[in-house]
Amino acid sequence: MPQAPDLKVYRATHCAFRPAIGLMLLVTLVVSWTAAQEVQGIESRIVDEVTSHNEIEKNLRFITNMIGPRLTGTDAQLRASEWSAERLRDYGLANVHLEGFKIAHAWKRGAVRAHIVKPAEVPILLRAEAAGWSPNTTGMVRGRIVYFPAKTQQEIHVFHGDLRNAIVITERPHRTRSLQDKLKEERNSLPEDTEANLQLKRDEFLKAEGALAILRDSDKQFGLFDMNYAGFAFQPGPLPEAYLTPESYDMIWDLLQYGGVEVELSIEGCTFSEMPVEVFNTVGDIVGAEHSDEMVILAAHIDSWDLGTGAMDNGTGVAAVLEAARALKNLKIASKRTIRFVLFTGEEEGMFGAKAYVEKHRKELTNISAVLVHDDGTGRVDTISLQGNGAIFDVLTKALSPLRDTLALDVLSMRGGEGSDHDVFNAMGVPAFFCQQQPESYDLLHHSQADTFDKAIPANLIQGAQVLAAFAFRVAEMDRLLPRPKLSTQ
């Protein structure tokens, strides 16, 4: 039988420990409260720093008006990557460097002339621009317009023998599509790779059948172009291809309903590099104080289309990301984890910069807590789009709840499918999100000749930079990485 304890000794020691335990609990509570207040204070400092000392207009003006359009593979796009690295070094970031990858061919735009010559008594001028990576025509070509709406292999072969010397259109004008039509198309849309493969097969069939060229509709208004590419993965398109303004495309379509239409088309002066060209992503870090090998990534894409100067798409995102880096570094904020800033290139042609980054850093993907991309123009950020990732809704809502009042954010959104660099990370199981922004004419302006510096709204970009910086700090300070699905092994 165990010996009974000496009650005098027990009471003496117990009473001696109780104040010590109480003091320890008090110290713990004070430290926790102080840490919480410090975090909240840092967020207020971020807001004040960006409001009072930001360089958003300065950086956006330089990348758009001084460097200009930044088509992937051009000298201007290379200069933009080098300049962005200079800015990150100026701001004092660590590990600033350019990560190169090669594209098959760079491409530079030539000139397009196009007219309706039948049934018009006098040729009618069409407003047209070459699609990206389009080859030239063999001088001025003339062909009848053929509507070629084929979507499957079976439908494609229905047109066998009917396309020689034709100039082809492949879709109804966007203005003729009802909301129900557009929703149906969205529901029935194919995965990106499948759609690209089908389009390539259609174009190769057209070439084999002797078609002369393809004309496409710009989904814009007021004479604006909506630029895209003719050739996939920086390869020359199978056929010469041009985009028409909606007004020009609608005219062809209307005439086609009442009889034959013939068009003259010339695409001249488009050039391709003979050899592959190296392009670059820009990378820089604010190194974490405790878990430096784990990180949160803030990103935008630095390339643009070449008719305007790439302000909405995506100079605004570049300026916001650079400002988030400047503010956090200037405040000497060291979060638990590294905050990495990445400016991708090759996004417009299929997120090639993000794909190159994921391939190069494949072994590090499990250490990425989150990726947040700013790529929707000059509108203020309403909330963070979780891309359908319901597994993290509660934990991220709790972590970001202080930001809702500070930055006037809505409840986190479950929206997805925005079609930017975050998609590449999501496909690999990395939690990657998108800044859900107010439209501010983004759909009207992006990819067009009107995508210029004057359309930017600085106050909205200040708020966007504040969201980026505060989001990164909050997520980098969490106790653990955000949960994620199993990574793809492909």
CATH of residue 280's domain is 3.40.630.10
Shared-domain flag, residues 231 and 127: yes
Distance CA 296, CA 298 (A): 7
Nearest CA-CA partner of 435 in 351, 364, 379: 379
Domain assignment present for 25 = no
User: How far is the C-alpha of 264 from the C-alpha of 204, rounded, in Å?
Assistant: 22
261 domain residue, yes or no: yes
User: In whole angstroms, what is the distance from residue 355 CA to residue 388 CA?
Assistant: 21
Q: What's the rounded Cα separation, in Å, for the pair 417 and 437?
A: 14
Last residue within a domain, chosen from 270, 302, 336: 270
Domain, as residue range, for 469: 46-105+275-476
Does residue 316 contact residue 329 with C-beta atoms inside 8 Å? Answer: no
pLDDT for position 18: 47
Answer whether 220's CB lies under 8 Å from 226's CB: yes
Interstrand relation of 141-147 and 166-169 (parallel, antiparallel or unpaired): parallel
pLDDT tens digit at each of 490 positions of the chain: 444 444 343 334 444 444 444 555 444 444 444 444 455 688 899 999 999 999 999 999 999 999 999 999 999 999 999 999 999 999 999 999 999 999 999 999 999 999 999 999 899 999 999 999 999 999 999 999 999 998 888 899 899 999 999 999 999 998 876 555 655 555 455 566 676 777 888 899 999 999 999 999 998 989 999 999 999 999 999 999 999 999 999 999 999 999 999 999 999 999 999 999 999 999 999 999 999 999 999 999 999 999 999 999 999 999 999 999 999 999 998 899 999 999 999 999 999 999 999 999 999 999 999 999 999 999 999 999 999 888 899 999 999 988 888 898 999 999 876 689 999 999 999 999 999 999 999 999 999 999 999 999 999 999 999 999 999 999 999 999 999 865 444 4
> Are residues 77 and 140 located together in one domain of the fold?
no
Same domain, 404 and 313: yes
SS3 351: coil
| Sign for the pseudo-dihedral over CA of 473, 478, 481, 482 | negative
* Model pLDDT, residue 179: 52
Do 339 and 413 fall within a single domain? Answer: yes
Using the structure block, give the residue that is written with the tokens 């109780």: 18
Residues 100 and 120 in one domain: no
Q: Is the dihedral of CA 337, 343, 348, 351 positive or negative?
A: negative
Last residue of a domain, one of 225, 246, 270: 270
Please tell me whether residues 243 and 360 are part of one structural domain. Answer: no
243 and 379 fall within a common domain:
no
Report which DSSP code applies to 488: P
Residue at 471: amino acid letter:
F
**Strand positions, DSSP E, 221-350:** 241-244, 262-268, 271-272, 277-286, 291-301, 337-344
Is residue 312 in some structural domain? yes
Helices (H) and strands (E) in the chain, counts: 13, 17
CATH number at residue 226: 3.50.30.30
Q: Are 249 and 219 in contact (CB under 8 A)?
A: no
Rounded alpha-carbon distances, angstroms, from residue 42 to 49, 411, 464, 479: 10, 22, 17, 17
85 plus 182 within the same structural domain: no
Distance, in Å, from the CA atom of 311 to the CA atom of 378, rounded to the nearest integer, reads: 9
Is residue 408 in a domain? yes
Strands (E), 218-268: 241-244, 262-268
The answer to the question of residue 17 being in a domain is: no
Domain count, the chain: 2
* Residues in a beta bridge with 174: none
User: Considering the domain boundaries, does residue 453 fall inside one?
Assistant: yes
DSSP, collapsed to helix, strand or coil, labels residue 83 as helix
Structure tokens belonging to residue 410: 């809505």
Q: Does residue 313 belong to any structural domain of this protein?
A: yes
Contact criterion met (CB below 8 Å) for 198 and 190: yes
Q: Tell me, what amino acid is at 137?
A: T
Question: 447 and 388 in one domain?
Answer: yes
Tokens of 215: 């004309």
Final residue in a domain of this structure, among 254, 270, 286 = 270
Same domain, 77 and 127: no
Is 117 found in the same domain as 96? no
Is the domain of 92 the same as that of 118? no
Distance CA 34, CA 27 (A): 10
Tokens 């109804």 found at = 172
Angle at 108 between CA 102 and CA 109, to 5 degrees: 145
- The answer to whether position 374 is within a domain reads yes
* Residue 157 pLDDT: 87
pTM for the structure as a whole: 0.89
Query: What is the rounded distance in angstroms from the CA atom of residue 156 to the CA atom of residue 169?
Result: 14
